[in-house]
């Protein structure tokens, strides 16, 4: 006769620590797979209670890092995340739950959605974005410019627009334009180093280069980022690594990675200097 599995009837601090660590690493785990140790219903309920007391969140099927905390972590270090990718990177919630958490997060002023070249992007509250009044001015200006261009481009004699008239159209937006233009420049190597420090995995100290490129996309060109990485690798302050296997790299990430030796693609960076 086979022996019945022995069920653990109590949980200790070490078990709770281990499970909490696993949940935070995975962002979410099924409630039925929290522990490899078999637990009685009483012990399972106690484990969940203690995990929730430590700041984790219970859903009908999972124990997870709170959705708001997951969203906030996506924006750490000034990262900008395409809105369509948020649902892929936040774990353990239904679409309805994520939509509600995201709406609340934005409503409370922790993030905002901006449109960049037709793509909706989630950004942090510190980003310089137009306020509703400026959006209204921009909408009015766009309509006026469109109307003027129709006349400029109509058949007949060649026509143009006076620069002073164009400047007058955009006058309400000049404060924002001047503010954007006066953002102090920093050396690409400095920006890359700062981003690597913000994005690196606490344990492995690795950063995915596609994540680095996206975080710096508003400040540096792809070529500038790749040059800074190559310079860091050359002087020994950075280590660049290829993906363990090409099949693990998403097709959309390949163009963001610098080429490596023998046809490899360098998809990870690690700071060597302190």
Instruction: Give 138-183 pLDDT, tens digit per residue.
Output: 999 999 999 999 999 999 999 999 999 888 888 887 777 765 554 5
Residues contacting 216, CB < 8 A, separation 6+: 191, 192, 195, 225
Q: Is 134 exposed, middle or buried (0-12, 13-18, 19+ CB in 10 A)?
A: middle
Scanning the structure block, which residue is given the tokens 């950004």?
A: 123
Q: Which pLDDT band, with edges at 50, 70 and 90, does 1 fall under?
A: very low
Residue 265, classed as helix, strand or coil, is strand
Residue 148 has a pLDDT of 94
Summary mean pLDDT of the chain:
87
- Kindly state the DSSP code that residue 111 receives in the 8-state scheme: -
Most confident by average pLDDT, 2-16, 29-43, 88-102, 104-118? 88-102
Count of Cβ atoms closer than 10 Å to residue 272 Cβ: 12
Greater confidence (171 vs 67) lies with 67
CA distance 172 to 104: 31
- Taking the model in full, what pTM does it have? 0.62
């Amino acid at each position: 006769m086979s022996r019945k599995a022995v069920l653990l009837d109590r949980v200790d601090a070490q078990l709770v620590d281990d499970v909490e660590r696993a949940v935070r690493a995975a962002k979410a785990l099924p409630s039925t797979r929290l522990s490899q140790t078999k637990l009685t219903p009483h012990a399972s309920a106690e484990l969940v209670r203690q995990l929730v007391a430590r700041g984790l969140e219970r859903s009908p099927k999972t124990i997870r890092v709170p959705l708001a905390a997951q969203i906030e972590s996506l924006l750490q270090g000034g990262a900008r995340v395409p809105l369509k990718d948020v649902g892929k990177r936040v774990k353990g919630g239904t679409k309805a739950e994520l939509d509600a958490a995201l709406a609340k997060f934005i409503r409370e002023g922790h993030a905002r959605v901006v449109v960049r070249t037709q793509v909706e992007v989630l950004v942090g509250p510190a980003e310089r974005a137009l306020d509703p009044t400026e959006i209204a001015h921009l909408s009015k200006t766009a309509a006026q410019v469109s109307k003027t261009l129709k006349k400029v481009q109509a058949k007949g004699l060649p026509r143009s627009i006076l620069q002073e008239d164009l400047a007058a159209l955009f006058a309400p937006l000049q404060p924002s334009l001047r503010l954007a233009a006066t953002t102090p420049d920093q050396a690409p190597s400095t920006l890359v180093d700062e981003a690597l420090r913000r994005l690196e995995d606490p344990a492995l100290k690795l950063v995915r280069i596609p994540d680095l490129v996206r975080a710096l996309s508003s400040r540096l060109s792809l070529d500038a980022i790749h040059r800074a990485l190559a310079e860091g690798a050359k002087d020994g302050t950075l280590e660049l690594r290829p993906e363990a296997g090409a099949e693990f790299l998403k097709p959309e990430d390949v163009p963001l990675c610098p080429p490596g030796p023998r046809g490899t693609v360098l998809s990870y960076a690690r700071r060597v200097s302190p």
